[in-house]
């Protein structure tokens, strides 16, 4: 049993609030954290909401992973960042969402044992941090590809190292939760209470950690995304080319800008409530007489639900802004095999932003210039590959959607 004279953190959902047990009786303590039976209709709504989010997040990101790994022409350097983001995002419904739901249904007692107590917050902060860092790298990569191709080596010159660093940094920033989270067991009035709480060395250390995480995991990515978008929009406004006569390269830059705007909106809308909650929680007044607002439980649930639900939108954004992802996803859903030739790279199957003058050793399929049908590589239709008419249409559709548009403009 833990020392009752040390400060403990008693939480709402995944958040905590401190009490100094030296100044409180156990009766007062458990009066503040006593159990409230959640209405059945509220439980049903929350279960349904998380079931939808878990389904969309898991299968949306699984689709991205399978499509990229099974389609050789989609294995571009940029798409490997998308693959890394999808792997991080698919871990959110597996490690975060269901745990948050269990904690919300049992706010004043821990029922999952010491192992899950140890890895609960650590795993959540870990996978969320990896996703945020990878998202930031993808934004920088698209901005450099669109506006400064000569600097693209910053994100693609050492891609494997960058991807490994996203996981190492994610583990490092989540490590304090693994070190300081413990089971707290208390015996009171014949009842054995088990709580899972993080006990940082001091309140100041907890405030410092929360502030650092806010800066690294929210403020800096948000600021960088805003800067990239403002710079892109500034260059776009300076262009004298009418929007109806856009050069294909400029049209692709416009699509990249729209993608950046979508990612920024999702990041801001989904993460701002949760980050504001964390700051408020750690800096608010904590004593025996402090009271939580009556709406705090609902706000905590909504804030974390919105943050975790951001993983549902990432696949929609990348598939929505890339026709070739959509065609490959359709092929996978229809259970077709070999929709694309295993040895042929078709124009536009990577990101729709050209990567001219890339310093990378391997030419990205994104850098292939759009050409007319006479110069385009055609699918291998010999006897070694049997395609149905619908298969051939699917192979050509990604290419034709772009080349026909270019021909009309020319």
Encode pLDDT of 166-177 as tens digits: 999 999 999 999
Strands (E), 25-91: none
What is the Cα–Cα distance from 174 to 196, expressed in whole angstroms?
A: 17
Is residue 52 left, alpha or beta, with left meaning phi > 0 and alpha meaning psi from -120 to 50? alpha
The answer for residues whose C-beta is within 8 angstroms of residue 358's C-beta and 6 or more apart is 149, 152, 153, 156, 364, 367
The DSSP 8-state label assigned to residue 1 in this structure reads -
% of the chain residues with pLDDT over 70: 66
Domains in the chain: boundaries: 7-325, 338-409
Which range is least confidently modeled, 148-162, 165-179, 273-287, 339-353? 339-353
Phi–psi pair at 357, nearest 5 degrees: 60, 30
Say which range, 70-84, 196-210, 330-344, has the weakest mean pLDDT: 330-344
Better pLDDT: 71 or 356: 71
Which residue spans within 14-127 are E strands per DSSP?
A: 15-20
Q: How confident is the model at residue 50 (pLDDT cuts 50, 70, 90)?
A: very high
Pick the residue with more confidence: 410 or 151? 151
In three-state secondary structure terms, 11 is strand
* Cα 128 off chain centre by: 6
Task: Specify the 3-state DSSP secondary structure of 194.
Answer: strand
Nearest 5°: the CA angle 394, 400, 402 is 125
Query: Each residue of 96-109: pLDDT tens digit?
Result: 898 888 888 887 78
Helix and strand numbers (H, E) in the chain are 13, 4
In this prediction, residues 285-308 reach a mean pLDDT of 84
Q: What pLDDT shows up at residue 322?
A: 79
Predicted local distance difference test score (pLDDT) of residue 236: 61
Chain centre to alpha carbon of residue 367: 27
Q: Residue 281 above 50 pLDDT?
A: yes
Confidence of residue 36 (pLDDT cuts 50, 70, 90): low
Q: Which residues face 185 on adjacent strands?
A: 194
**Residue 388: CB partners within 8 Å, gap ≥ 6?**
none
Q: Under CATH, which number does the domain 7-325 receive?
A: 1.20.1070.10
């Amino acid at each position: 049993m833990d020392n009752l004279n040390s400060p403990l953190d008693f939480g709402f959902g995944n958040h905590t609030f401190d009490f100094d047990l030296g100044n409180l009786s156990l009766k007062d303590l458990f009066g503040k954290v006593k159990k409230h039976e959640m209405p059945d209709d509220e439980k049903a709504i929350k279960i349904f909401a998380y079931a939808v989010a878990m389904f969309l997040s898991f299968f949306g990101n699984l689709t991205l992973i399978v499509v990229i790994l099974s389609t050789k022409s989609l294995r571009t350097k940029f798409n490997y960042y998308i693959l890394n983001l999808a792997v991080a995002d698919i871990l959110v419904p597996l490690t975060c969402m269901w745990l948050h739901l269990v904690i919300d249904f049992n706010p004043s007692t821990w029922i999952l044992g010491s192992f899950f107590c140890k890895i609960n917050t650590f795993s959540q902060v870990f996978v969320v941090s990896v996703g945020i860092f990878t998202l930031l790298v993808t934004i920088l990569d698209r901005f450099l590809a669109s506006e400064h191709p000569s600097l693209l080596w910053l994100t693609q010159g050492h891609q494997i190292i960058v991807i490994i660093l996203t996981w190492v940094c994610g583990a490092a920033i989540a490590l304090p939760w693994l070190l300081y989270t413990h089971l707290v067991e208390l015996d009171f009035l014949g009842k054995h209470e088990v709580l899972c709480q993080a006990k940082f060395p001091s309140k100041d250390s907890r405030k410092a950690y929360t502030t650092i995480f806010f800066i690294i995991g929210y403020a800096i990515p948000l600021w960088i995304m805003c800067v990239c978008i403002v710079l892109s929009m500034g260059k776009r406004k300076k262009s004298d080319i009418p929007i109806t006569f856009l050069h294909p390269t400029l049209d692709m830059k416009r699509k990249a800008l729209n993608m950046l705007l979508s990612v920024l909106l999702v990041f801001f809308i989904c993460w701002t409530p949760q980050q504001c909650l964390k700051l408020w929680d750690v800096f608010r007044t904590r004593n025996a007489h402090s009271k939580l607002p009556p709406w705090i439980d609902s706000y905590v649930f909504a804030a974390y639900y919105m943050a975790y639900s951001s993983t549902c939108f990432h696949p929609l954004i990348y598939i929505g802004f890339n026709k070739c992802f959509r065609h490959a996803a359709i092929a996978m859903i229809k259970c077709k095999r070999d929709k694309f030739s295993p040895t042929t790279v078709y124009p536009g199957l990577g990101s729709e932003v050209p990567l001219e003058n890339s310093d990378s050793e391997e030419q990205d399929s994104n850098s292939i210039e759009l050409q007319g049908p006479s110069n385009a590589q055609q699918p291998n239709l010999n006897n070694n590959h049997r395609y149905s008419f619908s298969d051939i249409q699917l192979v050509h559709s990604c290419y034709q959607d772009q080349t026909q548009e270019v021909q009309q403009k020319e």
